[in-house]
Structure 1
Amino acid sequence: MAIKNNNRIKNGKLGVQIAGQTRKEAFTNYFPSVSGTGTYFNAHSGLMKSSINPQDVISPDLAGMLPAELQGALLSPISVSLLKNGMVGGVTATQPIFAGGRIVNGNKLAKIGEEVARIQMELTEDEVVLTTHTYYWQIVNLKEKLATITAVEEMLTTLQKDVNVAVKAGLSTRNDVLRVELQLHDVASNRLKVENGIKVSKMLLAQFMGADMIHFDLENRVDNDCQEPTAFFQDAGTAVMNRPETQLLDRNIRAAKLKTKMSLGEQLPTIGVGGGYLYNDLLNKSNNSSVVFATVSVPISGWWGGSHARKRHKLMEQQAINDRTNNIELMTVETNQVWNELVEAHAQIILAESSIQSATENLRIVGDSYKSGIVPLTDLLDAQVLFQQSKNLYSDAYSVYQIKILKYRQITDH
């Protein structure tokens, strides 16, 4: 339920989709870039104005041959206005032929980005699973403590009745009654704390899983049979090399090398070919034409800083390699540390089991001795406290062991 409903998982899936769209976007750089433009204008007056004097183009002899009524009209200056309105448009397409490897390497870099997003998604799932189990075992632990409190309350309630009978018979004092009551109050206070802890923990787990926080509950069980840690052991060196974090470090090196190649490509010429279609209607007459072209762009001034850019990216490559070495060493230490914690947690369970046996037997012996009048009431109350502590110690150790198992398996079983 947590993997399906948790918001971090949802955002992780969106991150994978975003990386996929980035890769697809980079792939479009292989195709021609097409652009179209169109302009229509309508001016207040013609954009080109001039005046024509017929006397400058008509000879006096020809003018003398014209009828008298035309001579006055033709020989007067004539105003000319052009381009009052018009329309221009065109479509061009440019196909990159050579871009210094930037398109190829850019696509490889985008593919690495998608792989990184998927690996990060896997790590997010591990974190969500670990957090879910941590909440779960916290609730189980608290419920076990609540069960122990209930058992102690029953023992104290029975003891309170016996003490009251003893007081009435003159075999005990009111101090013993008060001691039992104080112990009951202390246990009741612990019950409230544990019950509130269970409520809050259940709400946290329900929210994390996307479940109903009001009516949410779960079954709990603490077994007395735990697998030995040796059943989960993995070689630390082999486990580290298979971890998703190592895959991320490998891809970081690959990405750094591609960025170095792209920085080199920025210093190389860019070559492209293209064609276009042009249309204009400026003098109330349509004109169509087509054009083909080739372009070569050489970043001459860019060479000055380009050498430093390549050196910078080379240094960043070495940084990525050093980071990989350092983190692999740290992950090896972490793997061994988690293994040691797992072994220690299992040892704590064995110790807790022994403590329960000793505390249970001690409670039985002290209880029999109290009934026989050999030991005072305080010894019996102390024995009950020790019994409760031993039970709590076991539930703590068991919960910690289960979480350590999951943590160790997550970092070794990939």
Structure 2
Amino acid sequence: MKQTIVALAFLLLALPGVRAQSPRSITLEEAVKLGIDNSKQLRQSKNKIDEALARLDQAKDLRLPSAKVSFQYLHALMLARTLNFPGLTQPGKPLSLSFDFPAYLGTLAISEPIFNGNQFKYARQSADLLLQLSKLDADKDKDDVTYLVISAYINYNKILQNQLIVGRNMQDVDQKLTEITKYESQGLATRNDVLRFQLQKSQIELSEIELENDRKDANYDLNIILGLPDSTQLTVSNFDYKLQEQPVFTDLLTQADANRRELQELAFQDKVADINIKKIQDGKLPTLAATAGMYYINPTGKPIPTDHTVLAPITLGVGVSWNIGSLYTTKNKVAEAAAQKQEIVTSKDQAQDDIRKDVHKAYLGYLQSLDKIRVLQVAVDQAEENERITESKFQNNLANTTDRIDAQTQLYQSRVNLELAKSDAAIAYYTMIKSTGNIHL
């Protein structure tokens, strides 16, 4: 019976999907690529670009000639059945018409614009600029997705590193608990000393439970962002905290002026405003178009007419139209468009000020994070030395259990603080890079 159970257990472990899934190691570069490839936000951005491309094609179509064709069957009842045509009918001999008068009527009309005050050109330029704006929005969305992935990745790495520190602390406490229990059996330590270490171990176990719950939550969120199966267990590989960077503030400002999407977008909007003003001004000009038409008139009521019973005149011509009222109504429209352009210029100045403040804040945040790490590294060194001295004193009965636990707790907390500061520095670095409008790894 035991052999059968063992055999079944091995068989179950060998089946696909039953085996425990091994953790997947992933680098930051791989995570960013996955996040971009599977981002629903970027798919929406692509849809907007396709929509702008369609509008550009529509603007190009305005140059094509327009053509309309129609065909009707008419059935008229003639209330007056005689008709005199001066010069065509003889006096006293009017044209007789039947009471029931069916007829077929068809038309074909073609119009080709010759001059339209550059309206077609401006429509195409506007559509092209809107396409460029859509691409800018897509680039900004890509930067946002990249930053989101980086932040989620660093947050997950922060939890993993804290778990390592807690694990090391647990090993130290287990070792010391074994030691103090041995001392108690030899009469060298009290029961209260043992209880203190047991309490410390329980507190660390609570921290492990909380961290594992946080890890699962962060792992799940990261899987969703990267488009991975929910059950994927992730581990971080070769992560660089970016602690050796030496940014120059003026260089960051130069990059921001060249790369920030807000400024590029306002520049395009300014061009669109210029085109709009020209388009309004050209509205005062007349339009000229060549026209051609063909008519099919069959008054016999028969689908296939006999000879000399069908009229099929063809017309050729040139049409001119001019909205004279635009000569005195355009002025106010131009004034409105000019005010809108000035509003864009003011918005650009305001955006430049906001960007400078944004870059400066991010720059100071990164420098501050580096200063914190230097201070916390000294604190870790001091805590390690304090723990070593306290341990030596404890072994020589010069320190009590409380001193020993306090020293170890301070060392544990200082290591956690240092690890948190490193992760915060990495976030601060990428926040600074994002503020320049050119986030990169």
Pick the TM interval, shorter chain. Answer: 0.7 to 0.9
Whole-angstrom distance in 1 between the partners of 2:241 and 2:126: 52
TM-score, normalised via structure 1 length: 0.87
Would the aligned equivalents of 1:240 and 1:328 in 2 still touch at CA under 8 Å?
Answer: no
Change (3 A) 1:121 1:321: same
Would the aligned equivalents of 1:236 and 1:332 in 2 still touch at CA under 8 Å?
Answer: no
- Residue 15 (structure 1) aligns with: 48
Would the aligned equivalents of 1:359 and 1:390 in 2 still touch at CA under 8 Å?
Answer: yes
Equivalence map 1:311-326=2 (5 Å): 311-326=335-350
Whole-angstrom distance in 2 between the partners of 1:259 and 1:223: 49
Would the aligned equivalents of 2:241 and 2:423 in 1 still touch at CA under 8 Å?
Answer: no
- Residue 99 (structure 2) aligns with: 81
Q: Name the aligned partner's letter for residue 180 of structure 1.
A: F
Residue 224 of structure 1 deviates from its aligned partner by: 8.3
Percent sequence identity is 19
- Residue 239 (structure 1) aligns with: 255
Residue 118 of structure 1 deviates from its aligned partner by: 1.1
Corresponding residue to 1:47 among 63, 77, 99: 77
Residue 127 of structure 1 deviates from its aligned partner by: 0.8
Change (3 A) 1:387 1:51: same
Residue 49 of structure 1 deviates from its aligned partner by: 4.0
Indicate yes or no: 2:231 matched with 1:214.
Answer: yes
Equivalence map 1:11-410=2 (5 Å): 11-41=44-74, 43=75, 46-51=76-81, 80-83=98-101, 85-221=102-238, 226-230=243-247, 235-243=251-259, 244-284=261-301, 285-410=309-434
Residue 375 of structure 1 deviates from its aligned partner by: 1.0
Structure 2 residue matching 1:384: 3-state secondary structure? helix
Whole-angstrom distance in 1 between the partners of 2:379 and 2:181: 31
- Residue 64 (structure 1) aligns with: none
Would the aligned equivalents of 2:249 and 2:360 in 1 still touch at CA under 8 Å?
Answer: no
Would the aligned equivalents of 2:36 and 2:146 in 1 still touch at CA under 8 Å?
Answer: yes
Q: Name the aligned partner's letter for residue 318 of structure 2.
A: A
Structure 2 residue matching 1:388: 3-state secondary structure? helix
Residue 184 of structure 1 deviates from its aligned partner by: 1.6
Would the aligned equivalents of 1:19 and 1:117 in 2 still touch at CA under 8 Å?
Answer: yes
Unpaired runs of at least 5, structure 1: 59-77
Would the aligned equivalents of 2:242 and 2:426 in 1 still touch at CA under 8 Å?
Answer: no
**Structure 1 range deviating more: 322-331 or 402-411:** 402-411
**Structure 1 range deviating more: 86-95 or 301-310:** 301-310
Would the aligned equivalents of 1:82 and 1:283 in 2 still touch at CA under 8 Å?
Answer: no
Whole-angstrom distance in 2 between the partners of 1:229 and 1:293: 73
Change (3 A) 1:266 1:324: same
Q: Name the aligned partner's letter for residue 282 of structure 1.
A: P
Residue 286 of structure 1 deviates from its aligned partner by: 2.7
CA RMSD in angstroms comes to 2.4
Change (3 A) 1:134 1:39: same
Structure with higher Rg: it is: 1
Whole-angstrom distance in 1 between the partners of 2:328 and 2:340: 20
Whole-angstrom distance in 1 between the partners of 2:105 and 2:376: 89
Aligned pairs, number: 388
CA deviation digits over 1:271-293, x for unaligned, max 9? 22211222122224332121123
Whole-angstrom distance in 2 between the partners of 1:143 and 1:167: 36
Structure 1 residue matching 2:318: 3-state secondary structure? strand
Q: Name the aligned partner's letter for residue 315 of structure 2.
A: V
Change (3 A) 1:156 1:234: same
Would the aligned equivalents of 1:49 and 1:82 in 2 still touch at CA under 8 Å?
Answer: no
Whole-angstrom distance in 2 between the partners of 1:280 and 1:272: 26
Unpaired runs of at least 5, structure 2: 1-33, 83-90, 302-308
**Structure 1 range deviating more: 246-255 or 127-136:** 246-255
Whole-angstrom distance in 2 between the partners of 1:225 and 1:254: 40
Whole-angstrom distance in 2 between the partners of 1:190 and 1:372: 31
Q: Name the aligned partner's letter for residue 47 of structure 1.
A: L
Would the aligned equivalents of 2:355 and 2:435 in 1 still touch at CA under 8 Å?
Answer: no
Change (3 A) 1:106 1:318: same
Change (3 A) 1:79 1:106: closer
CA deviation digits over 1:331-364, x for unaligned, max 9? 1221122111111122222222222222222222
CA deviation digits over 1:120-147, x for unaligned, max 9? 1111111111110100010110000001
